């Protein structure tokens, strides 16, 4: 499954940390470097398995820790409607 950022969400990156702003609610989401990396990969071209593999390649983290954190982060993004399935805006 491929996801992309919701069209009403803006974001910026400064020094490997990001911030996401939901224009619909005005809510601000600060992102740590790993979350920023994941956010940047959610571009509609990669499926979730590819993104998780990239996290494992780029960060010193165990498979289980990466999978748990990745799943939790994605659940939060979808719950807050910050990402949508590709072509399902």
CB contact at 8 A, 38 and 55: yes
> Is residue 88, in this structure, part of any structural domain at all?
no
Looking at residue 87, its pLDDT comes to 76
Domain membership of residue 40 (yes or no) is yes
Structure tokens at 62: 């165990």
Domain annotation covers residue 70: yes
Range of the domain at 30: 3-83
Give the number of domains in the chain: 1
Model pLDDT for residues 23-63, shown as the tens digit of each residue: 999 999 999 999 999 999 999 999 999 999 999 999 999 99
pTM above 0.85, yes or no: yes
**26: Cβ contacts below 8 Å, ≥ 6 apart:** none
* Domain membership flag for residue 48: yes
């Amino acid at each position: 499954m491929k996801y992309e950022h919701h069209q009403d969400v803006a974001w910026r990156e400064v020094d490997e940390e990001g911030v996401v702003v939901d224009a619909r609610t005005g809510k601000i989401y600060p992102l740590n470097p790993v979350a920023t990396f994941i956010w940047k990969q959610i571009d509609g071209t990669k499926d979730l398995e590819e993104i998780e593999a990239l996290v494992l390649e780029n960060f010193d983290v165990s498979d289980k820790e990466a999978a748990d954190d990745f799943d939790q982060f994605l659940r939060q993004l979808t719950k807050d409607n910050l990402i949508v399935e590709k072509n399902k805006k």
